[in-house]
Structure 1
């Protein structure tokens, strides 16, 4: 088949426009069907038509979970981690309309790990000489910037990682990287005792903005690891064999039910 041959979506059957095809391992996917996939899914090209159909069924079922999701705690600023602590569920999204966005609803027990990644970048600070040419300082000087990412590892059939950025723009203290001359004091890196510095990394890391995003990342990490541990402990307790006890009300030997009550008289054995 040629490049300009008509293509049809193997999911919905609709004709695919010239730039609208999303290739699958054994077929084609239109952009409208592709939008319904999980935003954390990245293996489309290696997926078969059957696998995409399975995921779309999962995504459709996910809409019911979104509809019944009750936010009890919100973490983050732009992209948020929303917790439903009563149901033991969470989602990660930047959308305001949850039902329209259909973010993946995951169980606390699905979390396998969580970490804060701080990406550091540096840009050389230069100056323009009398001829307008860019020149380096000696020794070279650098302006540093930082971006903050949360990485949540999860147990899910369609993705195993959720990675999102906490800050909307790099934290860099607005440092200038091209000065008007070697003695330009505007944007010059200076130590407290008046000497020239070769880096502003320490200053940026001590800034309020840097500390804010670092604390935000730690809060999200600690919260998710805590609820994961609670979910695991509850699952272990539920799976543990129950021992027979004597009911203090009727005197019968009983194995307490799920509510901790006597199976004969209904008295609260574990109260």
Structure 2
């Protein structure tokens, strides 16, 4: 029970538990491929037992360094000998990057008839997740991907639009007037009547710094 398909056979659930957590190419693996990986994982267990953390980065998922052996691993486990995370040499590291996953959900309000209607202009709630992808040279996987944040980071729009004060035209949600250049922030007009913005000094008044 619980067998998983291989390219030329089946993988039992007990052997599947012993494979690398970063391994994802099971269906294209042969029985011999799995046997070689199980041998690699048995050898890795010896490294995990010898691993001595000298530096730790992260809170949930952690990047651990053993500077004496020049090894590193990525794991959530506290007991490395029991969890047997993949222990890699420094030289196996080939790259690292951070991916930001953005999701957008439109917010709506209740109309006079009780039905949901869109704001004008539309309002959105944004959520962000941050993932680290460590690229490695390994025969059984080529990247170690894990999330930095425990829960998504949410950014909600302002509930009410504020009327701009006299001399200011930089409030969010306003459309730029025709013929005027836009500032570097989306949906904002450039703020006017500020010192240092191509204004002529008034006669008899000193200029600001």
Q: TM-score range by the shorter chain?
A: 0.7 to 0.9
2: CA distance, partners of 1:106 / 1:98: 13
2: CA distance, partners of 1:106 / 1:80: 14
Contact persistence 2:44–2:87 (CA under 8 A): yes
Is structure 2 residue 61 aligned with structure 1 residue 79?
Answer: yes
How many residues get paired? 170
Q: Shift in Å at residue 193 of structure 1? A: 4.8
Q: 1:191 to 1:115 in 2, by over 3 A?
A: farther
Q: 1:32 to 1:130 in 2, by over 3 A?
A: farther
Structural RMSD (CA): 2.1
2: CA distance, partners of 1:192 / 1:103: 57
Q: 1:191 to 1:143 in 2, by over 3 A?
A: farther
- Which segments of 5 or more consecutive residues in structure 2 lack a partner in the other structure? 166-170, 175-184, 186-209
Report matched runs for 1:1-271 at 5 Å. 17=1, 20-173=2-155, 175=156, 188=159, 190=161, 193=164, 197=173
- Which segments of 5 or more consecutive residues in structure 1 lack a partner in the other structure? 1-16, 177-186, 203-271
Q: 1:134 to 1:104 in 2, by over 3 A?
A: same
Structure with greater helix share of residues? 1
Consecutive aligned runs of 4 or more in structure 1 exceeding 6 Å deviation: none
- 1:207-260 CA-to-partner distances (Å, cap 9, x unmatched) read xxxxxxxxxxxxxxxxxxxxxxxxxxxxxxxxxxxxxxxxxxxxxxxxxxxxxx
Contact persistence 1:128–1:134 (CA under 8 A): yes
Q: 1:58 to 1:193 in 2, by over 3 A?
A: farther
